[in-house]
Amino acid sequence: MSKELWIEAISKFLLGVVLVGVLLFLPAFSFEYWNAWLFMGLLFIPMFIVGIILIVKNPKLLESRLKAKEKESTQKKVILFSVIMFLLGFVLAGCNYHFKWFQLPMDL
């Protein structure tokens, strides 16, 4: 277990938390957006647990996952498109909360 791997893993994790938080809460203009808190918890708590397990049990696998890069041009385009769609999805969810575009009934 190297110190550099710990620093890289924690910094990428925290960057992800901050980025998703900004993409959800900034367009919502509110921290009272409970759906965003629930989403972030469901996304990042298991990610954190898996990261800890990997850093203890298999640091080589964690290191390879942190440094994974696509080599093929087509795959790079697919990844770029996916990133844009995910970012847009987070921003639209925050905007939907703020502007109340789509209201779903709470009772099912």
Output the pTM of the full model.
Answer: 0.85
CB atoms within 10 A of CB 70: 12
Q: Average pLDDT of 32-41?
A: 96
Average pLDDT over residues 76-102: 94
Give the model's pLDDT for residue 1.
Answer: 63
Region of 30 (left: φ > 0; alpha: ψ -120 to 50; beta: rest) is: beta
| pLDDT attached to residue 26 | 97
Which tokens hold the place of 39? 């989403």
Farthest-apart Cα atoms in the chain, separation: 50
Question: Do the beta carbons of residue 1 and residue 59 sit within 8 Å?
Answer: yes
